[in-house]
Each structure stands twice: as structure tokens, then as C-alpha cells.
Amino acid sequence: MSAPVPLEVGITRSAGPSASGKRVLLAEPRGYCAGVDRAVETVEKALDKYGAPIYVRKEIVHNRHVVDTLAERGVVFVDETDEVPEGAVLVFSAHGVSPAVHESAAARQLRTIDATCPLVTKVHQEAKRFARDDFDILLIGHEGHEEVEGTAGEAPDHVQLVDGPDAVDSVTVRDPEKVIWLSQTTLSVDETMQTVQRLREKFPQLQDPPSDDICYATQNRQVAVKAMAPECDLVIVVGSRNSSNSVRLVEVALGAGARAAHLVDYAKEIDPAWLEGVETVGITSGASVPEILVQGVVQFLDERGFHDVQSVTTANETLVFALPRELRASRRS
Ligand code: SF4
């Protein structure tokens, strides 16, 4: 796996240094990635085009605020296709679904719109391709995560889940010369490479994926938090507990030297005790987090004397994905 290349590394001051020594470092990039932006816009456009209710299988993205906001507009979130009335409009979430889910939606004659992130679809294609070539596919990822279920469902007879380095001992394959690893898109880069190393010690012929499966957004957010963390007494990651990439940011911050790191959905969840004796607070957010929630944290800190806000920039992101075909006429500007 290649490390993402920083386009720009630097600290930008947006306010003068504070006499109190209190400051905020804002990681850049943070928040919405291209896949989340597309998925949320897909649901909004589907609401505009077809009217409420629109059904979405699972959370469209793993963020409480996004899900609650869409639910208020008439989106009904379901766990499975059999909860959707026949003929209704159903959106598949950014995390992707297995062929079995597509089949069950078709059997109920649902009008489906697929908001799967194209970078997840890429991993599905890899799984299908290597299963066709009869490889054993070792899928590094978290048990029970929707993305992993969708990818594994492309080739259930060929895919084995490897949930971290400690799971390697129990992995067995049919032919050690025909083994490839793939991964969930939102893992810790460093931990994944530890898992790969353990796998390679066991299966020296292990093949690498044709290209990085951990997506650009996950990697970029981890690089930014790593650059910022050594200077931070506290890192606040805005994100939901079921957001894999957000949880990873907390781990990466701690691993990179932050003295404390916490995950919050909203500023109101910040415990003022976390700020005792703290001079530098780093802020970042997961790929499914709207910027308004980050600004809520900035304001919370400003009200407590953290007026000096500086950006720590390690990459500039410009990627945009086209909307699903059914909705392409009307992209928001
Ligand atoms: S985190 Fe990565 S894989 Fe997931 S939606 Fe965003 S760009 Fe796509």
C-alpha cells in the first residue's frame, strides 16, 4: 500500500496567538469525502424527485446527525428489503450491498438507487475477479460491518474475514500460492499493514490488491491527524461510534502522540473536565461528518478561551463522484 502524497503541509494561522496559550489545531482534510457527499445528495435528490417516503437500507452513512436530518425529511431507514413496501423507492447506502440484497430487492420489485461509494464498488470488483480465478481472498476488516458483509457477499465461498493481526493465526487456505488480501476501505493504514505482515509471514506468496483498498479519504484524514497529534494535549474527533473511519482517527491520534483523544457526535458531548490543563486541542472529523458539527466544536472551545484557530493541512481533496444515473440531471452546485 502506498502512503498518500501530501500536496501541502503547513500550519495556517487564522487568528493571532492567544495570550493564554490556548489554541486549536484544525486538521485538513477532515469531514465529508466524495463518497459520502454523493450518497447524501443521492437521498436528497431522490426525495426531490420521488417525494417522501424514500426508503434507505441501513444508515446512508454512519452519522447520527445526517440520519436524523434525513429522517425528519421523510426518509425511512430499514434494516432489510423485506421491510420496504413493494414497488417503493429504496436507496442502498454508501457501504454497499451483496448480490443477495440486489436480488431480494428485485424480487419485491423495488425501484432501487445504488449510492454505494465507487471506491467500495472497486473492492467488490476485485473480490469477484479473484474469486473467478479461484483465489482464497483474505478480506481484512471488521466483523459485522456492512461494507465487509457486502464485499464478502460477492464471493462467499472464496472470502475469509481477517479481523486484525491477532486473527491471522486461525486463517487457513486451500493453496498458499493462490492467496490475495483485500480490505475494508476505512481501516487504520498502520494496523492493516501489521495484519498484512503477519499474513505474509504465514503465506509468503500472498498477493497484494491491484490498488489500495483503504480509500484516499481514510488515508488523508489519518495523515492529517498524525501531523497534528504530537502537538495536542487533546484531540477531539467528531464522528459517530459506528463510523469505522472516525473511530480509527481516535486510535491514530493516540498512536501519534496526542495525550488524550475522544470521539463526539456533537459539541455538547464534550466533558469540560477534558479541557483542564489543556493548551492545544486538535479537531478532526470522520468522512461522514458535516462541517457544521465541527464548527459547533470550534465555537464550544472559543467560548472557553480557545480563540486561536490554526489549520494543519496535509492534502487538498478535489475528487467528486457523479450521482447515480437515475438522478444525474440535477446535481447541486
Ligand atoms: S470513506 Fe472512502 S470508501 Fe467510504 S464513502 Fe468515503 S471515499 Fe468512499
279 is catalytic: no
Q: Which residues contact 333 (CB under 8 A, 6 or more apart)?
A: none
Q: What is the largest CA-CA distance in the chain?
A: 66
Tens of pLDDT, residue by residue over 80-100, are 999 999 999 999 999 999 999
Residue 332 scores a pLDDT above 50: yes
Tens of pLDDT, residue by residue over 181-240, are 999 999 999 999 999 999 999 999 999 999 999 999 999 999 999 999 999 999 999 999
Distance 329 CA to ligand 1 centre (A): 23
Using most ligand atoms within 8 A of CB, pick from 185, 220, 222 the residue to mutate for ligand 1: 185
CATH fold of the domain at 119-214: Cobalt-precorrin-4 Transmethylase; domain 1 (3.40.1010)
Tens of pLDDT, residue by residue over 29-48, are 999 999 999 999 999 999 99
Distance 53 CA to ligand 1 centre (A): 26
* Ligand 1 atom showing the smallest separation from residue 287 Cα: 1
Q: The whole model's pTM is what?
A: 0.92
pLDDT of residue 4: 41
Sorting pLDDT into bands at 50, 70 and 90, what band is 1? very low
Determine the average pLDDT of the residues in 88-113: 97
Q: Where do the structural domains in the chain lie, given as residue ranges?
A: 18-33+216-313, 34-117, 119-214
Coil, helix or strand for 198?
helix
Tens of pLDDT, residue by residue over 284-327, are 999 999 999 999 999 999 999 999 999 999 999 999 999 999 99
Half-sphere exposure of 73 (CA within 13 A, CB side): 18
Select from 3.50.50.60, 3.10.129.10, 3.40.50.11270, 3.30.1360.30 the CATH code of 34-117: 3.40.50.11270
- Mean pLDDT of the chain, nearest integer: 94
Q: Do domains 18-33+216-313 and 119-214 have the same CATH topology?
A: yes
